[in-house]
Amino acid sequence: MARDAKKLKPVKEFKPITRSDELPLDAERLRFMHETMVKARCLEERLIAMYKSGHGYFWIGGPGEEAFNVPLGMLIKKGQGPAFDFCHFHYRQSATLLAMGEEPLGAIRQMKNTSTDPYSGGRNFAGHFSKKAWNIVPVSSPIEVQYSMVIGTAMAQKRLGGDAISIVTGGDAGTAEGDFATCLVWSSRPNEELPVLIIVTNNTWGISTPYDQVQGVERISDRGVPFGMRTKTIDGNDPISAYLELKEAFEYVRTERKPYLVEARVSRLYGHSSASGANFSTVEADCLSLFEERLDKHGVRAKAEAKRLREKYAEAYAELARQAKEEPFPDGATIWDHVYAGEPGKDPLAD
Ligand SMILES: Cc1ncc(C[n+]2csc(CCOP(=O)(O)OP(=O)(O)O)c2C)c(N)n1
């Protein structure tokens, strides 16, 4: 659905750092951020192309959120168990996984629903990641349940001590559900505060429902204020600002062991999902193109080089899709794998 402009008022405090002459991050980091954003965009565009050519049943993903999701992935302390960060993500997080070092082939296999899909063995939607080795909890299709679940891992981390935290992401519309309120209450109990980085990516849409017809608050971050937690609304279309703001939030949660609610304003560049057509939006800010303008202007990466990278990854991922096309679908006999602990009908604690 096209519209003229976002009805949300612009946030005055968005730091103008990226409009100054000096970029406040080193060139190597900026180039990594840009290349990872390119990878994420090319991956999502490949997944959309697969859906449109009949090599997948449903697409949903994160094009338009790369400027926020890449810095997020760069700051996560990845590993398995409570001494590492726990990630309770939603379905728009491919750029975060790539920034953490994930290979793109898994997402392509999940799109094609092959048995080789490392996240669900070919049985879940696109963008439904899970990775035990990095504490990436399986993405849930019923939205928002992750905001209740994050409390559990954060409690374990609080008891353990150390600096690992639990991170939860979800969209603006989903915050209307009770799980979000549960998260605010349980993460902020006096003297029992939990190390949770609560993130809401606000693209101003819930499928086709506009933000300003549903939410009475101007900023979702304000929902955390009555609970005494630190809150901030940040510019999720600016990767430098997002990196610096997130760094501060991570440091606070790691050291204070208390919650921090971040609302990131982002774009939704290909609509909600394949259910709404998955066509490029010309009325929303494109964080990748905007970043490329700035990198070129500051001599960090020329536009021609950025274009070359886009072509390189577009072709590389087309090749991965050709590879996945030849791989088998899951065998019917594996239908119960990973559904229950142990075997169906057998007491999981019996052995
Ligand atoms: C419990 C539940 N209710 C409804 C849906 C259908 N649904 C899927 S995505 C979505 C909108 C989510 O919007 P938002 O939370 O803003 O996240 P976005 O997809 O825009 O990032 C809805 C209503 C669902 N999957 N689960």
pLDDT digits (tens, 9 = 90+) for 56-83: 999 999 999 999 999 999 999 999 999 9
> What's the 274 CA to ligand 1 centre distance in angstroms?
14
Token couple for 254: 């790691």
The answer to whether 89 and 201 are in contact (CB under 8 A) is no
Tens of pLDDT, residues 107-159: 999 999 999 999 999 999 999 999 999 999 999 999 999 999 999 999 999 99
Element (H, E) at 35: helix 27-52
pLDDT bin (cut points 50, 70, 90) of residue 8 is low
Residues 155-175: tens digit of each pLDDT: 999 999 999 999 999 999 999
Q: What is the pLDDT of residue 318?
A: 98
* Coarse DSSP helix, strand, coil percentages of the chain, rounded to the nearest 5 percent: 45, 10, 45
Taking 50 as the threshold, does the pLDDT of residue 17 lie above it?
no
| Ligand 1 closest atom vs CA 177 | 1
Domain CATH for 148: 3.40.50.970
Reply yes or no on whether the pLDDT at 9 is more than 80.
Answer: no
Ligand 1 centre to CA of 75 (Å) is 26
Q: Are strands 205-206 and 209-210 parallel, antiparallel or unpaired?
A: antiparallel
Residue 342 has pLDDT above 90, yes or no: no
Name residue 63's amino acid: P
Ligand 1 nearest-atom number relative to CA 273: 19
User: Which pair of tokens denotes residue 224?
Assistant: 């955390």
**Residues within 6 Å of ligand 1 by CB:** 92, 141-143, 170-174, 203, 205-207, 272
At 209, give phi and psi (nearest 5°): -95, 120
Would you say residue 155 lies in a domain?
A: yes
List the beta bridge partners of residue 166: 86, 196
In this predicted structure, the answer to whether residue 29 has a pLDDT above a threshold of 80 is yes
Asked whether residue 347 is assigned to any structural domain, the reply reads: no
319 close to 104: Cβ distance less than 8 angstroms:
no
From ligand 1's centre to the CA of 331, what distance in Å? 30
The pTM assigned to this predicted structure is: 0.94
In ligand 1, the atom with minimum distance to the C-alpha of 141 is 25
CA 206 to ligand 1 center in whole angstroms: 6
- Beta strand 86-88 with 166-171 is parallel
pLDDT higher than 70, residue 325: yes
The verdict on residue 237 lying in a domain is yes
The answer to whether residue 2 is domain-embedded is: no
Q: Which ligand 1 atom minimizes the distance to the CA of 175?
A: 15
Tell me the CA–centroid distance for residue 244 and ligand 1, in Å.
Answer: 28
Higher pLDDT, 192 or 21: 192
Q: Please write the tens of the pLDDT for every residue from 181-191.
A: 999 999 999 99
Band (10; pLDDT cuts 50, 70, 90):
low
In a domain, 29, yes or no: yes
Per-residue model confidence as pLDDT tens digits over 211-265: 989 899 999 999 999 999 999 999 999 999 999 999 999 999 999 999 999 999 9
pLDDT for res 5 = 43
- The answer on pLDDT for 351 being more than 90 is no
Q: Which atom of ligand 1 is nearest to the CA of 92?
A: 21
Residue 284 placed within a domain: yes
Supply the pLDDT for residue 4. 45
- Give the confidence band of 339 by pLDDT, cuts at 50, 70, 90: confident
How much is the CA Rg of the chain, to the nearest whole Å?
20
Q: What percent of the chain has pLDDT over 90?
A: 87
Read off the pLDDT band of 340 (50, 70, 90).
Answer: confident
For residue 144, give the ligand 1 atom closest to its CA: 1
Q: Could you tell which of 207, 213, 214 is best to mutate to test the pocket of ligand 1, judged by most ligand atoms within 8 Å of the CB?
A: 207
Containing structural domain, residue 55:
24-271+280-327
In this structure, the number of other CB atoms found within 10 A of the CB of residue 195 comes to 27
Q: How many CB atoms are closer than 10 A to CB 335?
A: 11
Domain contains 7: no
Instruction: Tell me the one-letter amino acid at 95.
Output: A
C-alpha 207 to ligand 1 mean position (Å): 7
As a whole-number percent, the residues of the chain with pLDDT over 70 amount to 91
pLDDT single digits (tens) 264-305? 999 999 999 999 999 999 999 999 999 999 999 999 999 999
| Structure confidence by residue, pLDDT tens digits, 81-98 | 999 999 999 999 999 999
CA of 89 to the centre of ligand 1 (A): 13
Residue 343 lies in a domain: no
Count of structural domains, the chain: 1
The per-residue pLDDT for 336 is: 82
